[in-house]
Amino acid sequence: MALVIAGERSGVGKTTVTLTLLASLRRRDRLVQSFKVGPDYIDPMFHRHVTGRACRNLDPVLTSEAYVQQCFARHSQLSEYALVEGVMGLFDGVSSLVISHSSFAKDKGQRTNDKGLMTNDKGQITDFASTAHIARLLDLPVVLVIDCSRLSGSVAAIAHGYRSFDPRIKIAGVILNRVGSDRHLSLLKDSLEPLQLPILGVLRRQDNITIPDRHLGLVPTAELPELNALIDRLADLGDTCFDWQRLLPLLKSESLSPSASPSLSPSFPVRIAVARDRAFNFYYQDNLDLLQQLGAELVFWSPLEDADIPKDIQGMYFGGGFPEVFAQQLAENSNVRDAVKTAILKGMPTVAECGGLMYLCEQIIDFEGKSWSMAGVLPTSAVMGGRLTLGYRRAVALQDNLLVKANTTVYGHEFHRSHLTLTPTQPLFETSRYDCEENMGREGWGLPANIHASYVHLHWGESREIPQQFLKQCLKVASSATWI
């Protein structure tokens, strides 16, 4: 048993409700494991800040249905309580034309066409990778968060519609958010009473609880000096706004013997420098775990603050983040920029995703049009703009590269507001949308041959050959003694 927090749509307050529950549980000294549906990086940062445990992403597009189940089982049984935060609205998922792993087609009424695409026999829109899909996969009850700020009696129609839309989904109750007054609450309760659907929480409009956001969502935790005070206010709220007598049994994890992590041979004794600071902090914890399980020692460092790159390393990993926000500080740390460029040109295997790719460019041109010098490994510049590039990607490798062999298909996610001034002459991938055949063009830099720089974020959980391939190249550096 555990609980899924879902919304009737985006923006109803799922994250606030989730953090309020987590903060109140931690105040009670409860050990709680959190999960996040989808590819998001920032919400899990807030979960981790509250619980002290790494939040795990549950995304069957980036991994598989089986991996989602295994990941949840492995980590939830190590804690007393487990909580899953959903994504978007409860049934918002991928459309019926699904490019997917073959295992996804089993018992789903799907067939494969001559192009290898999984299509639904009736052609309707599906909820694959939605919160509802995850709730069904894990057989978990759902609590529906409803934004009540602009409705009263209509709340019953919303709740009834969501409860009856898919009988496989077990709606355990609702949480009413942004309730304005006692009279407003009375109207909401009267409307819901005929449904006999439990009200598990009531959150009044909160003017003193605001999590700031910007162009890619919430501002990450490392940039919020008042975050602990905010979490304390959420814990105070959680102590009084929830029906804990009903919620605690739903949140309780099964008491099982802890299962071991997947058995991997630790055959790559190398040191990997992982850039982690306010500019670079988008990492799936599972990716970092896999590197360590394979024998790598992770050395965390800051391109913003440190005077040099770490010593005695055989590889570098630059995750995504917000280098555009800290472009001036990154530019001013010229010693590190030069050291990164020198290391890569001398053959250091380097993975750079999205924000990491931007850092390897010659320049970042910010929203105000100001240019800031970066590492200068890639002969292009990253320009910030208003257009958001967002969505799952199917990417086919065009050539052997640092992470995958030619013709290998990987599934990833893009989320950025920058574009490059020049395209690579020998790109890594041919990309297309995940849920249709629309071609998204060629992208990714693999020259010099020891780098993998791409806008596409990858989760390695179902593709362990990716970290193995990366570490294999790092081990060559270590054994050749060409890098010190």
Residue 103 pLDDT greater than 50, yes or no: no
Q: What is the pLDDT of residue 262?
A: 62
Helix or strand holding residue 426 (H, E): none
> For 78, which DSSP code?
T
Helix (H) and strand (E) counts in the chain: 13, 26
Task: Report, as an integer, the average pLDDT of 38-57.
Answer: 97
Amino acid at 169: I
Task: Kindly indicate the confidence band of residue 478, based on its pLDDT and cuts at 50, 70 and 90.
Answer: confident
DSSP for 314-338, please give it: SEEEE-EE-TTTTHHHHHH-HHHHH
Determine the straight-line distance between the first and last CA of the chain, rounded to whole angstroms: 51
Q: Are the beta carbons of 118 and 154 closer than 8 angstroms? A: no
Q: Are the beta carbons of 43 and 59 closer than 8 angstroms? A: no
Q: What is the pLDDT of residue 215?
A: 77
**Which pTM value belongs to this model?**
0.91
Q: What is the pLDDT of residue 477?
A: 81
DSSP for 206-244, please give it: -SS----EETTEEPPGGG-TTHHHHHHHHHHHHHHHB-H
The SS3 of residue 74 is: helix
The SS3 of residue 125 is: coil
Q: How far apart are CA 315 and CA 308, in angstroms?
A: 15
What are the backbone dihedrals phi and psi of residue 320, each rounded to the nearest 5 degrees, phi first? Answer: -80, -175
423-436 tens-digit pLDDT: 999 999 999 988 77
> For 456, which DSSP code?
-
Task: Report, as an integer, the average pLDDT of 343-355.
Answer: 97
Q: What is the pLDDT of residue 283?
A: 98
Residue 119 pLDDT greater than 90, yes or no: no
Q: What is the pLDDT of residue 260?
A: 55
Residue 420 pLDDT greater than 90, yes or no: yes
Task: Kindly indicate the confidence band of residue 109, based on its pLDDT and cuts at 50, 70 and 90.
Answer: very low
Task: Report, as an integer, the average pLDDT of 469-475.
Answer: 96
In this structure, of 119-133, 276-290, 342-356, the range with the lowest mean pLDDT score is 119-133
Non-local (6+) Cβ contacts of 479 within 8 A are none
Handedness of CA 358, 361, 363, 365 (dihedral sign): negative
Q: How many CB atoms lie within 10 A of CB 109?
A: 10
Task: Kindly indicate the confidence band of residue 263, based on its pLDDT and cuts at 50, 70 and 90.
Answer: low
Task: Report, as an integer, the average pLDDT of 377-401.
Answer: 94
Residue 483 pLDDT greater than 90, yes or no: no
For the annotated catalytic residues, the residue numbers are 354
Q: What is the pLDDT of residue 479?
A: 74
Task: Kindly indicate the confidence band of residue 102, based on its pLDDT and cuts at 50, 70 and 90.
Answer: very low
User: Where is pLDDT greater, at 332 or 262?
Assistant: 332
Residue 83 pLDDT greater than 60, yes or no: yes
Looking at the chain, the whole-number percentage of residues with pLDDT higher than 90 is 81
Residue 104 pLDDT greater than 90, yes or no: no
